Structure 1
């Protein structure tokens, strides 16, 4: 699909859900019954500010739709932020060009896999940069339920994780080499989230608060529970950002070794953005808490990254600062089917065919990440032409999956 000026974005739709707060949707599909129910549940909460915004890649999540932007007054929903706190993307534009990669892709992939742990794996030794991270000073103030995990958190910083997390070498339209990766706050972020979500559910039970979904349990600003969660949330978001920086530094050194004889280079552009997080922001002249559950901040000054699947294009974008979306855009293509369904609907031959030209794993362990399990990224991008402008269009030549 053409993404030039001739490509016309669909305007957002104001959904009629009979809720106290409207839902504005940039989705490229009609919401199904479960998606509609989930959107309606969130929009009916009394502390939701103005409206709920749904991004083009919106799909089912837990409590709230993945691809939701939720602004709230004086309350926060831990499960709406999710369990991979601070999950996001990192990319750099290198000074290298496509021709320098000739004959080196397989070895680059092998070196990445040797240097950066994936799945449940962790680093055998802790990097000096990791040990010196300022965040460890505050670890003792995190939730009591994670106090035994400091050593594991240290070893996992600089590791990819599993699922849809990835590391890619990409080329843009000018054959410039880009390095890109997708990861979050690993086990420590997950455990912090789970502890606080459980606290929220217990508080709702004790207060006999009637919620449309137990996963929409919330904390009220000014309470100790809110303060504890907000503190841990910010810590985990910082951990996630640092995790991506550590991996990107290793990744960059590997590529420099192959393409520049180990000589350090300076990135032409660097982007590091969350897409699973919450922050205090000002919208419509008011202070609010903005939760982006599978969405990227897209103010006019913001660069963002919107990846496709492991066989599709990805996009470096700059925000347009659209107030209706709370200055947000999509975080990717969005899944069209569950992981289990993808494994039964497609074969390894399908995976091989759909990842032609990409140096990557082509085995049953990544079949659930087959490109056909995701929405067409070009359509997702066309639906948000009013949210972002495309700075660079990337296509991967190497892909390492978690």
Structure 2
């Protein structure tokens, strides 16, 4: 006979608060048969109405005590586990403290801090955390599935230099940036992602479908970009089957737009209600993957990741068609996500918040800044880093400080010297706001090998400094 599995919605309907008492009540229900659903709900309803009457009950006492003393349901942290730090000499103390807190979670198994790490919300940006059967919404981040996508063409550098006005025109025509911005009417893109069944999982996701449709094929604000550049492959012996040399390439960086941000905020709020942690760890509230809320977030996260990939696919297909070149290769990786992976013989949930997957032989892209090179890399499968590498150069200066430090004239002169055209962008993204990508790469030679170098030539970013994603 199948056992009974109650849902959080059923318990909310009979008077339970959004709290760990729900998880305790679900555990009680698992001891009964499916045919006893009505009886069990009636019994648990009585506990919710008068918890003091059941405080000493052997089976119902744990539920009653959580209802009577919600202050006691704060989860205790453990002594922080050790974790590996790469490039530690230029990682700020705030990021280290956040990582220390993450390693104190009861579900923490292993962790690492990448050389581009800096302070964020919850898990630091550049933080990698392996957890036991738990998913942390702010361990993934607000911009779920944010990723890099690189297309390499059979077009020589000389053609780009001689036809920059055309490349600029097409870049502007086929991209759209910034918080809330999307396509409308006949300009809307279409993609199979819009038919994904997860949109029908609940009313919350159904209500996000129209937003996802309008923003499909667009990019966010902040450090998101689409840019033309020159890719130099350093050897003939590569997985791409392309001879060494210089090629025109298109590189994009963006995520899941308003869809991912709304999912992240919704499930972070829910996690905080269900998983009460001490104040210093509150942003790291987690959801068990064996719970209804945890599985909902897992499915929604994967939907957002697939949506982010679809956005890049549309941008690259539009621009490939516009320039008429032959596509030689396309590489893609994401860096704000969680994966089920094996670590030391056990399945764990690996959160990479601003970290690139770098399993053995896995290709990835690590960008610099608008005026610094990026790199196509091959992972070395280093277990100490939990098969991860940096996702970029990493900020060394806040957006506000960057705006106060640099001038438009200085930025313009720097880009002119380097032969780079900037369309949009703001002083908050000035190259000096970032760490030196070469120093960052030197700190992770144990994690990745460089396959090719990408030099930006024409960069498109949001005009308004918006930071939705």
Q: Distance in 2 between matches of 1:274 and 1:315?
A: 15
- Residue 324 of structure 1 is matched in structure 2 by 384
1:84 aligns with 143
Shift of residue 299 of structure 1? 1.3
User: How far is 1:63 from its partner?
Assistant: 0.9
Whether the 8 Å CA contact 2:92–2:119 is kept in 1: the answer is no
Looking at secondary structure, tell me which structure has more strand per residue. Answer: 1
Answer yes or no: is the 8 Å Cα contact 1:48–1:72 preserved in 2. Answer: yes
In structure 2, relative to structure 1, the CA distance for the partners of 1:72 and 1:117 (3 Å cut) is same
Distance in 1, matches of 2:80 and 2:210, equals 46
In 2, distance between residues paired with 1:345 and 1:102? 32
Partner of 2:369: 309
Q: 2:458 aligns to what SS in structure 1?
A: strand
- Give the 3 Å change call, closer, same or farther, for CA 72–154 of structure 1 in structure 2: same
Kept in 2: contact 1:106–1:359 (CA 8 A): no
The DSSP-based 3-state class of the residue aligned with 1:315 is: strand
Alpha-carbon separation, structure 1, partners of 2:292 and 2:165: 52
Counterpart residue number, 1:202: 273
The reply on whether 1:401 has 2:461 as its aligned counterpart is: yes
Equivalent residue for 1:281? 341
Structure 2 contact 268–285 (Cα < 8 Å) conserved: yes
Q: Residue 351 of structure 2 corresponds to which residue in structure 1?
A: 291
TM-score, normalising length from structure 1? 0.88
Question: How many equivalent residue pairs?
Answer: 370
Mean CA deviation greater in 343-352 or 211-220? 211-220
Cα offset, 1:151, TM superposition: 1.4
1:111-190 mapped onto 2 (5 Å cutoff)? 111-120=170-179, 121-125=181-185, 130-133=190-193, 135-142=195-202, 144-173=203-232, 174-190=245-261
Deviation at 1:255, TM superposition (A): 2.4
Q: Which residue of 1 aligns with 2:421?
A: 359
The answer for the alignment partner of 1:108 in structure 2 is 167
Determine the structure 2 residue equivalent to 1:10.
none
- The 1:159–1:134 alpha-carbon spacing in structure 2 relative to 1, beyond 3 Å, is closer
TM-score (norm 2): 0.75
Q: SS where residue 208 of structure 2 aligns?
A: helix
Asked if 2 retains the 8 angstrom alpha-carbon contact of 1:90 and 1:182, the reply is yes
SS in 2 for 1:228: helix
On the 8 A contact 2:91/2:116 being kept in 1, the answer is no
> Alignment partner of 2:378: what SS?
strand
Contact 1:88 1:276 in 2 (8 A): yes
Give 1:340-351 correspondences, 5 Å limit. 340-351=400-411
**Higher alpha-carbon deviation: 388-397 or 28-37:** 28-37
User: Unaligned 5+ residue runs, structure 2?
Assistant: 1-77, 233-244, 463-469
RMSD: 1.9
Q: Kindly state the Cα deviation for residue 334 of structure 1 after the two structures are TM-superposed.
A: 0.2
Specify the alignment match of 1:233 in structure 2: 301
Q: Could you say which structure has the greater relative contact order, defined with CA pairs below 8 angstroms and 6 or more residues apart?
A: 1
| Deviation digits for residues 141-177 of structure 1 (CA, Å, limit 9, x no counterpart) | 15x3343221121121100111100011111333311
Aligned-pair distance for 1:106? 3.3
Q: Who is 2:438 aligned against?
A: 378
Q: Tell me which moved more, 184-193 or 33-42.
A: 33-42
Indicate the SS of the match to 2:106. coil
The structure with the largest alpha-carbon Rg is 2
8 Å Cα contact 1:28/1:57 also seen in 2: no
CA distance in 1, matches of 2:313, 2:197: 19
Equivalent residue of 2:177, what SS? Answer: coil
Deviates more, 1:81-90 or 1:172-181: 172-181
TM superposition outliers: structure 1 runs of 4+ over 6 Å: 126-129
